[in-house]
């Protein structure tokens, strides 16, 4: 990723962009289970422009939004309706600096985990697994080894079997692998190799 995060987030300004399909699927599954609203504690890892955070709050979640860009967290807070602001907590921190995550029923990581440094990834992943309550869900994305950004040493990429191994102890409810040419949000050509996942942590 050649552009700065500040430049990247500007591409979303003033646009009506839906929440990630993986997140929408996870929220729909909770609704089908009639999961009580007051028990929906969620984490948005690498919340960015806050599209997913806002969707979770609208669905009754208490959300901890985490991002390393302080300015986007301020913008996110400003964009939350006044009567919903008490549903949002923000934390300005990089993945590498996280030492714990609170117990949660949902962890959302839309296109963010690949930007964790490889040597830090497994520690971060264990934090995610440990914080999820039984019956809780993960919704998010992983980049595959054929992605055109694969030569970036500060990013993490996975083969299909490695993604499957990450979810030992989970029931995978959605797993979609995309491997195709496309464009970035700034309009640059890119080959995307992405795993889209929703998984539910097993009860035992």
Q: What is the pLDDT of residues 56-115, one digit of tens each?
A: 999 999 999 999 999 999 999 999 999 999 999 999 999 989 999 999 999 999 999 999
Tell me the per-residue pLDDT of 107-147, one tens digit each, with 9 for 90 and over.
999 999 999 999 999 999 999 999 999 999 999 999 999 99
Query: Can you name the residues that pair with 198 across neighbouring β-strands?
Result: 139, 174
- CA pseudo-torsion sign 133, 136, 139, 143: positive
Domain boundaries, the chain: 19-201
Q: Given a cut of 60, is residue 163 above it in pLDDT?
A: yes
Burial of 199 (0-12, 13-18, 19+ CB in 10 A): buried
Rounded-to-integer distance, Cα 56 and Cα 199, Å? 17
Asked if residue 88 lies in contact with residue 77, where contact means CB atoms within 8 angstroms, the answer is yes
Tell me how crowded residue 189 is: count the other CB atoms within 10 A of its CB.
9
CATH 3.40.50.150 for domain 19-201: yes
Asked if residue 141 lies in contact with residue 195, where contact means CB atoms within 8 angstroms, the answer is yes
Token pair 């030569």 is found at 151
Share of the chain above pLDDT 70, in %: 93
Q: What backbone phi and psi angles, to 5 degrees, belong to 98?
A: -75, 130
Burial of 16 (0-12, 13-18, 19+ CB in 10 A): exposed
């Amino acid at each position: 990723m050649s552009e700065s995060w500040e430049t990247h987030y500007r591409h979303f300004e003033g646009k009506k962009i839906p929440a990630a399909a993986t997140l929408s699927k996870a929220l729909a599954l909770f609704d089908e289970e009639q999961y009580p609203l007051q028990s929906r504690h969620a984490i948005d890892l690498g919340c960015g422009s806050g599209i997913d955070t806002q969707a979770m709050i609208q669905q009754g979640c208490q959300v901890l939004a985490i991002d390393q860009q302080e300015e986007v967290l301020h913008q996110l807070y400003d964009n939350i309706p006044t009567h919903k602001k008490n549903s949002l907590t923000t934390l300005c921190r990089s993945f590498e600096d996280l030492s714990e995550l609170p117990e949660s029923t949902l962890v959302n990581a839309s296109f963010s985990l690949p930007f964790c440094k490889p040597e830090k990834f497994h520690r971060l992943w264990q934090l995610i697994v440990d914080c999820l309550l039984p019956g809780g869900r993960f919704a998010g994305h992983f980049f595959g080894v054929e992605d055109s950004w694969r030569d970036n040493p500060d990013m993490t990429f996975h083969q299909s079997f490695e993604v499957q191994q990450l979810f030992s102890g989970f029931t995978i409810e959605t797993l979609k692998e995309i491997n195709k040419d496309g464009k970035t949000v700034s309009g640059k050509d890119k080959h995307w190799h992405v795993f889209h996942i929703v998984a539910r942590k097993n009860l035992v």
